[in-house]
Amino acid sequence: MPQLLTVRVKRPDRRPIRIWVPLLPVVLVFSPFVVLAVLGAAVACHVFRIDVVRALGTGWRIVSALPGTRVDLEFSRTAVLVAIR
């Protein structure tokens, strides 16, 4: 499971902004919504006749593969760098 989200915003003529977000407290705060989302996904899988266990397993594999992901976005003269560790 990813542990840390790092966001860095490079702005022209200003100091860059760097934000570190520990993901465990965020997941704990939003855990009621995560439970509702999993239940909603299970209902949607049942409606569309998709194996629920296989779909949830695939979702967990995607979340487990997130550490090491890096996303770089550039808007005109501003750059946003997101890294998941």
Per-residue model confidence (pLDDT) at position 1? 81
Task: Note the pTM of the prediction, 2 decimals.
Answer: 0.75
- Tell which residue, 76, 67, 70, 81, has the closest CA to residue 17: 81
Strand locations in 1-85, DSSP E? 4-10, 17-22, 70-75, 78-84
Per-residue model confidence (pLDDT) at position 39? 95
Sheet holding 17-22, edge to edge: 17-22, 4-10, 78-84, 70-75
Spans of all domains in the chain: 4-84
Per-residue model confidence (pLDDT) at position 43? 96
On whether the CB atoms of residues 6 and 83 are closer than 8 A, the answer is yes
Going residue by residue through the chain (85 aa), what tens digit of pLDDT does each one get?
889 999 999 998 899 999 999 999 999 999 999 999 999 999 999 999 999 999 999 999 999 999 999 999 999 889 999 999 9
